[in-house]
Amino acid sequence: MKPTVHDIAVHAGVSLATVDRVLNNRPGVRHETRAKVDAAVAALGFVRDMAAANLAKGRVYPLTFILPSNDNSFMRGLAAAVGDAIARAAVERLAIRIIEVPAFDPQALVAALREAGREKPAGIALVAVDAPEVRAVVDELVEAGIPVVTLVSDLPGSKRQHYAGIDNIAAGRTAASLMGRFLGREPGSVAVLAGSLVVRDHRERFEGFRAVMAAEFGHLHLLPVLEGRDDPATAERVLREALAAHADIAGIYSLGAGNRGLVRLLKEVRRDRRPAVIAHELTGTTRAALTDGLIDAVLNQDAGHEVRSAIRVLKASADGQSVVEAQERIRLDIFLRDNLP
């Protein structure tokens, strides 16, 4: 049976009121008495129920989410997941604020982090841009006692507490394995469409994709990465130019967003000339394209799971508690036309 505050009081030879003052770090307890209670807690293996304690104290966790503001279906879904958390905020004792910044802009992200930090929230979650100035501000915030979690795109080498997102290198490797099997042994070129390689998730997906393509599918030639800035019009334009310049393009790996532009272009390509296409994130656009045979596979991450994970980790960090790593692992799903949910 788990030890209780009554057991601590008996073990330390003090009153329940004294135990309560020590556990809640309130004044009015002598150093010697506090030491007795601390020793009883350690001896009995008492683990405090922080959720119950915080509920009793009426504690609210102010959290800030910093999200990119570009026209990106997945990021809109991520923002919607934060909106769902805001709708549950009163029940979960949260006060959530969203700050939007231009995508792929490290200076704007730095300014938003500094703005958020001035309000001293219980934690900050951000879609990171992998830049030294962003890393420096994240480290400053953590050193100032503000927990930080990265979402979707990580910031390795920083002092952030946790990354809520898929293993992007594994995602890229998975895409390459699928692409190689879709295309068979005929030689050809493969176009890769990224949003921007300045973000870690896009760069890691490309690194994983390139490694497997080189090791297992050497007969397929990778073209230089196209950057569509996660903008449908830009993605359509750069892909159209690539298809015009390279008649042997047999596959397209869209590792970022901007898939509305990709799909518009694919609709113009004759069915017998259409390349194999692998994209990321199951949105309305990619779901319809899978159903219509325009896209062959979609790799997906659960935005809602990522937001819930970030909130759990930030609350635990604010309370000085550990998290269950297995619970926070974000799964990579592979969808074909035949297994759409």
pLDDT tens digit string along 115-153? 999 999 999 999 999 999 999 999 999 999 999 999 999
Taking only the tens place, the pLDDT of each residue in 168-220 is: 999 999 999 999 999 999 999 999 999 999 999 999 999 999 999 999 999 99
Find the domain containing 228 and state its range.
168-301
| Sign (positive or negative) of CA dihedral 198, 204, 209, 212 | positive
289: Cβ–Cβ under 8 A, 6 or more apart, which residues? 259, 263, 266, 277, 279, 295
* HSE-CB for 189 with a 13 A CA cutoff: 13
Q: Is residue 93 in some structural domain?
A: yes
Classify residue 334: in a domain, yes or no: no
| Span 71-79, average pLDDT | 91
In a domain? residue 116: yes
Indicate whether 178 and 117 sit together in one domain: no
Residue 142 in domain: yes
Q: Are 25 and 57 in contact (CB under 8 A)?
A: no
Assess whether pLDDT exceeds 70 at residue 280.
Answer: yes
Specify the residue for token string 């420096």. Answer: 136
Q: Read off the pLDDT of residues 261-274 as tens digits, 9 standing for 90 and up.
A: 999 999 999 988 99
With respect to residue 98, please indicate whether it lies within any of the assigned structural domains: yes
Q: Is the pLDDT of residue 17 over 90?
A: no
What radius of gyration, in Å, describes the C-alpha atoms of the chain? 25
Long-range (24+ apart) CB contacts under 8 A made by 55-58 are 55/93, 57/24, 58/93
Helix (H, G, I), strand (E, B) or coil at 20: helix
In a domain, 337, yes or no: no
pLDDT value of residue 189: 98
Check whether residue 73 and residue 175 sit in a common domain: no
For the chain, how many structural domains are there in total? 3
- In which band, very low, low, confident or very high, does the pLDDT at 229 lie, cut at 50, 70 and 90? very high
Residues 83 and 136 in one domain: yes
pLDDT of residue 69: 93
Lowest mean pLDDT among 25-29, 50-54, 222-226: 50-54
Confidence of residue 50 (pLDDT cuts 50, 70, 90): low
| Whether 186 and 284 share a structural domain | yes
pLDDT of residue 306: 97
- The size of the chain, in residues, is 341
Amino acid at 265: L
| Confidence (pLDDT) at 289 | 98
289 lies in the same domain as 238: yes
- Across the strands, what pairs with 98? 65
In a domain, 25, yes or no: yes
DSSP secondary structure of 246-306: -TTEEEEEE-SS-HHHHHHHHTTS-GGGPPEEEEES--HHHHHHHHHTS-SEEEE--HHHH
